[in-house]
Amino acid sequence: MRIIATVVLGACAFSAQAPKRTVTDAEVQKVHKSALVLDTHNDVTSRTITGFDINKAAADGHTDIVRYRAGGFGAQFFAVYVGANYVEGNGSAHRAMEMIDTVRHDIIGKNPKDFELALTAADIVRIHKNGKIASLMGIEGGHAIEDSLRLLRNFYALGIRYMTLTHSNTNNWAGSSGDLDGRTKGLSPLGKDIVKEMNRLGMMVDISHVSDKTFWDALAVSSAPLLASHSSCRSISNIPRNMTDEMIVAMAKKGGVVQVNFGCEFLSQKSAKTSNFGNPAIREKVAAAMKNFKGTLDEQRAKMREVIKEMGLKTIPATLADAVAHIDHIVKIAGIDAVGIGADYDGVDCVPEGLDDVSKMPNLTRALLENGYSAKDIRKIYGENLLRLMRAAEQAAQH
């Protein structure tokens, strides 16, 4: 997830690119059902931790069980997100434990007919076959382990299967893309030991949010392929959170996968320019207004929208075609085995029309079919590539 919100005013213009071929509803359904739809980043945890009931169809947000079922979901990695504000006073591990509990207790525990905890790639396949949504956890923000390999191992034992080495804050051992200072920093010796320990455990090394230098260090150190759980292409939308072509190609050569983020500013340069990501003036004003703000994530977002609105700004939304363009680009430069979906639902405010929430995934299936992707390609994008990466992480742990 990201902290700073963007605001969407007015209706999104649904992109109407001429399809390469005509696709029937029956074909969309058939192909969609044949895939294991797996998404590697969802922040509904920031809502369930303050009481949101995922089993109630909600009018707001992006995620609930009804919409998951409509979207044909097979597996979800839930974000165990720890904000940078927990670093002060050493509250990061405490927060991570509470976030793990909201996945295990509020999401899975209270809804056993719909969700089941998955710890391995084999679990994902088995749970999906049984008609439930395989539920996994990834830590977002490496500061959660409070510089301790012992805590890292405990988090693995509780079910954490990936960790982003940083969030938007640089921590004591890894530089982040989210602060100017951190962009010059990579992995410290401790950071390299942490990556090696993640390899030894079989926890996927997630480079979403890290600085470019941290990325290259992690690529050199990791014995397992890298994961980008929710990042898109910088050559299309030039923001530090996205990946350069060089990074995507290098990561793919080692078996890594880029899971495309659906946030408008990740997908479209036009959107980025009207958000904190691509516009430093917005970033500064929002950061100043948010400095001592306390409250729930939803309250924070409302406050941030207010600030941006006061600046008289309108975010230009991205389109479904923009999402397809990122998938096309990764396939073109790195191959069909290098791309997946990490939508960041409930972690971003602006998503493209047609991909408004988790229920809308069949629209992407249709768009991919119209653009010439085969059923086999779509199955790779939706889950098989990530399953391959997870199996490789599991195998690396045995050596």
Between 229 and 279, whose beta carbon lies closer to Zn ion? 229
Q: Which of residues 138-197 bind Zn ion (CB under 5 A)?
A: none
Look at residues 91, 94, 103 and name the one whose alpha carbon lies nearest to residue 49.
103
Between 1 and 136, whose beta carbon lies closer to Zn ion? 1
Query: Which residues lie closer than 8 Å to 190 by C-beta, 6 or more apart?
Result: 147, 172, 173
8 Å CB contact between 179 and 157:
no
How many residues would you count in the chain?
399
Q: Which of residues 1-60 bind Zn ion (CB under 5 A)?
A: 1
Between 350 and 369, whose beta carbon lies closer to Zn ion? 350
Shortest spacing between CB 2 and Zn ion, in angstroms: 5
Between 72 and 178, whose beta carbon lies closer to Zn ion? 178
Beta-carbon count within 10 A of 104 CB: 17
Shortest spacing between CB 31 and Zn ion, in angstroms: 29
Between 95 and 128, whose beta carbon lies closer to Zn ion? 95
Shortest spacing between CB 76 and Zn ion, in angstroms: 15
Which DSSP state fits 17? P
Which DSSP state fits 235? T
Helix H, strand E, coil C: the string for 257-278 is EEEECCCHHHHCHHHHHCCCCC
Shortest spacing between CB 373 and Zn ion, in angstroms: 26
Tokens 């340069």 belong to which residue? Answer: 269
Between 1 and 313, whose beta carbon lies closer to Zn ion? 1
Shortest spacing between CB 148 and Zn ion, in angstroms: 22
Look at residues 158, 155, 157 and name the one whose alpha carbon lies nearest to residue 143.
155
# chain residues binding Zn ion, by CB under 5 A:
1
Shortest spacing between CB 119 and Zn ion, in angstroms: 23
Buried b (16+ CB within 10 A) or exposed e, 172-186: ebbbbbbbeebbebb
Shortest spacing between CB 74 and Zn ion, in angstroms: 22
Shortest spacing between CB 398 and Zn ion, in angstroms: 30
Between 1 and 364, whose beta carbon lies closer to Zn ion? 1
Two tokens, residue 137: 């956890």
Buried b (16+ CB within 10 A) or exposed e, 224-234: bbbbbbbbbbb
Query: Which residues lie closer than 8 Å to 302 by C-beta, 6 or more apart?
Result: none
Shortest spacing between CB 353 and Zn ion, in angstroms: 22
Between 231 and 279, whose beta carbon lies closer to Zn ion? 231
- Taking CB positions, which residue lies at the least distance from Zn ion? 1
Between 1 and 221, whose beta carbon lies closer to Zn ion? 1
Going by their DSSP bridges, the two strands 37-42 and 115-117 should be labelled as unpaired
Two tokens, residue 339: 């791309």
> Interface with Zn ion by CB under 5 A: which residues?
1
